[in-house]
Amino acid sequence: MWRFSGNQLKRWRTKANVSREQLAAAANYSPDTIKAMEQGVRMPTPRVLDMADELCRAEGLLSAAKEYLSREKFPPRAQEFMEREKEAVGHWSYEVALVPGLLQTRSYARSLIENRYPPLDDETVEQRIEARIERQAILTDRKPPVALSFILYEAVLRSPFVDAQQLEHLLEAGALRNVELQVLPFDRATSPALLGAMVLLETRDHERLAFAEGPFASELSADPEVVSRVAGRLSMIRAQALSPDESARFIERMVDRDD
């Protein structure tokens, strides 16, 4: 929808002989931002669509895209994973740098999303934050409950974005019966633990999917070889990590120090 709407935006603008600079000025955006929207790199915002509809005399055809774009609450590279996550009966992950989205407080999520580069407009920031919080329903609202396992490298907890509220939130999540939370301390890490974050999902049909997200690209794979490799790394890291009880005490000590 991003690409299609952006393509239509450009076609209507060109047909109406409206320059990119004119649309940018009218909508209070930079020409480069309009270009990114037309190329599908950024989501066309309601303000741009409405202004383009008016300038190009599209009679509501461009504004109509707002309803469909509002449903796309996640970056294009993560949308397929988010859809499959909704179907999951099992969710196992390892994170090397950031608190997983399913365990983030609203303030932590805001810190990450507001500081994203290239920057997002205010409307998209709020949309992404709400979408991230909505995802967390998988922790408590699914019947039967989803089995979730999280392993966090110690560096995740030492981040300047992590405050006492976020640490306490982790403790609360780890206390849920369907959630297992482990910490991998610095002194227990081996090279496989430094190769990056990963997620393994299992669907209702017992299909297993491996997901790896990077700064520029993400990959969701059902390839048995890829899935097996991710499952092996997760098992190895899980064995090196502290037990759930030890991990809770580790986090509790960090909370006490923050106090």
Buried/exposed 46-55: b ≥16 CB within 10 Å, e otherwise: eebbebbbeb
d(CA 200, CA 231): 7
d(CA 211, CA 115): 24
Q: Where do the structural domains in the chain lie, given as residue ranges?
A: 2-69, 76-258
d(CA 91, CA 72): 22
User: What's residue 25's pLDDT?
Assistant: 92
Please report which confidence band the pLDDT of residue 21 belongs to, taking 50, 70 and 90 as the band edges: very high
- Residue 7 contacts residue 40 (beta carbons within 8 Å): yes
Element (H, E) at 188: none
Percent of the chain with pLDDT over 70: 94
Please report which confidence band the pLDDT of residue 70 belongs to, taking 50, 70 and 90 as the band edges: low
User: What's residue 84's pLDDT?
Assistant: 83
Largest CA distance in the chain: 66
Burial (0-12, 13-18, 19+ Cβ within 10 Å), 100: buried
Q: Is the pLDDT of residue 13 over 80?
A: yes
- Structure-token pair, residue 54: 């008016």
User: What's residue 2's pLDDT?
Assistant: 75
Please report which confidence band the pLDDT of residue 87 belongs to, taking 50, 70 and 90 as the band edges: confident
Instruction: Spell out the alpha helix ranges (H) of 57-149.
Output: 66-69, 79-87, 106-114, 122-135
Count of residues for the chain?
Answer: 259
Please report which confidence band the pLDDT of residue 258 belongs to, taking 50, 70 and 90 as the band edges: low
Q: What is the dihedral of CA 123, 37, 33, 45, to 10 degrees?
A: -20
Q: Is the pLDDT of residue 65 over 60?
A: yes
Percent of the chain with pLDDT over 90: 63
The CATH fold assigned to 76-258 is Endonuclease; Chain A (3.30.870)
d(CA 157, CA 180): 16
Q: pLDDT tens digits for 191-226?
A: 889 989 999 999 888 889 999 876 666 788 888 999
- Closest by Cα among 259, 247, 256, 257 to 156: 247
Q: Please provide the average confidence, as pLDDT, over all residues in the chain.
A: 90
Q: Is the pLDDT of residue 72 over 60?
A: no
Please report which confidence band the pLDDT of residue 77 belongs to, taking 50, 70 and 90 as the band edges: low
User: What's residue 216's pLDDT?
Assistant: 60
User: What's residue 37's pLDDT?
Assistant: 87
End-to-end CA distance of the chain: 47
Q: pLDDT tens digits for 104-117?
A: 999 999 999 999 88
Q: Which CATH number does the domain 2-69 belong to among 1.10.260.40, 3.30.70.1400, 1.10.510.10, 1.20.1250.20?
A: 1.10.260.40
Q: Which of 22-26, 62-66, 239-243 has the lowest mean pLDDT?
A: 62-66
User: What's residue 146's pLDDT?
Assistant: 96
